[in-house]
Amino acid sequence: MSDQNQHNIEIQLNLQKWREKPLLRRVYQQFYKLILAEIDLKAQGSIVELGSGIGNLKSVLPEALCTDLFANPWIDRVENAYMLGFSNESLSHLILFDVFHHLEYPGDALREFLRVLKPGGRVIIFEPDISLLGWLVYGLLHHEPVSRFKPIKWFAPVGTDHSKLGYYAAQGNANRVFLNREWHQTLCDWELRTIKRFSALSYLASGGYSKKQMLPAVSFPLLRAVECILDCFPALFSTRLLVVMEKGTRNSRQTHKQSHQFTV
Q: What is the pLDDT along the chain (264 residues), one digit of tens a residue?
A: 566 666 777 888 888 889 999 999 999 999 999 999 999 989 999 999 999 999 999 999 999 999 999 999 999 999 999 999 999 999 999 999 999 999 999 999 999 999 999 999 999 999 999 999 999 999 988 889 999 899 999 999 999 999 999 999 999 999 999 999 888 889 999 999 999 999 999 999 999 988 889 999 999 999 999 999 999 999 999 999 999 999 986 544 443 333 333 333
Which segments of the chain are extended strands (E)?
46-50, 65-68, 77-78, 91-97, 117-128, 190-198, 240-247
Q: How many CB atoms within 10 Å of residue 250?
A: 8
Which residues neighbour 82 within 8 Å (Cβ) at sequence distance 6 or greater?
105, 108, 109, 112, 162, 163, 165
**57 CB burial (10 A radius; 0-12, 13-18, 19+):** buried
Q: What CATH class is the domain 3-247?
A: alpha beta
DSSP 8-state code for residue 83: B
* The predicted structure's pLDDT at residue 159: 95
